[in-house]
Structure 1
Amino acid sequence: MDDLRIRAAGPEDLDAVLAFWKVAAEGTSISDDRSGVERLVVRDSESLILAERGGDLVGTVIAGFDGWRCHLYRLAVHPDHRRQGVGAALLAAAEERFVRLGGRRGDAMVLDRNELAHHAWRAAGYAPEPQWSRWVKPLTD
């Protein structure tokens, strides 16, 4: 793990991140475009956290904090780098960020069908809350 570098993404990273998600992330979102990710980074320059190994992007997580709750999105690790501690390092960086900002609890958006992710989140100490259901409404077409 000595060669793993964790850092915040900058505007110069956005195209690489979007290409990375096509390989490493399960599914896509309405906001998975350059303007959506650019808005995120402009609004909160430390929210998109990258993991690099040998200069290559190997993982991402979005650690969003709205002043009240801590939200985790887009935890993705390149298939060739899974089960090597990349996801754990990204979550540790996100959680450190949340504590620094005064956050007290993190929640993660995880696809129901992504069983591999369920195992990773459980290993990191997260658990589903069956009493809650996620309701969504697209705000644009």
Structure 2
Amino acid sequence: MNIALIAHDKKKDDLVKFVLAYRDTFAKHTLYATGTTGLRIQESTGLKVHRFQSGPLGGDQEIGAMIAKNQMDLVFFFRDPLTAQPHEPDVSALIRLCDVYSVPLATNMGTGEVLIRGLEKGDIDWRNLYRNKHC
């Protein structure tokens, strides 16, 4: 499956720790990330990550384009709800696209835990059928 990894600055450490904790699961999938987040994950885990631009420079939109083409299956976007983001419209658009294309989205570690456990059990496999039907 194609998995996007995105984190606001104050949540990057949390996402890196999360990917480290579930490294073996993430290693079985194709990973995509925005610039700095992807670099930090690569350096910390040794996993291959396809890196886009940083979020404010268009990385969120690049991932959004994959969602719109039904090429993304799961998104982990650890958001910082307490800090204003200058690219908030891009963030909102990405979340909206996940809803439009039925792409599971975790915006925090709690939901991330549920989704990663579901991924491990095969609960997200329906995305393969959905993607093939709608592409």
More helix by percentage: 2
Choose 1 or 2 for highest CA Rg: 1
User: TM-score over 0.5 for the alignment?
Assistant: no
Write 1 or 2 for the structure with the bigger share of strand.
Answer: 1
| TM category, shorter | 0.3 to 0.5
**Greater RCO (CA < 8 Å, at least 6 residues apart):** 2
TM-score between the two structures when normalised by the length of structure 1: 0.33
Q: TM-score, normalised by structure 2?
A: 0.34
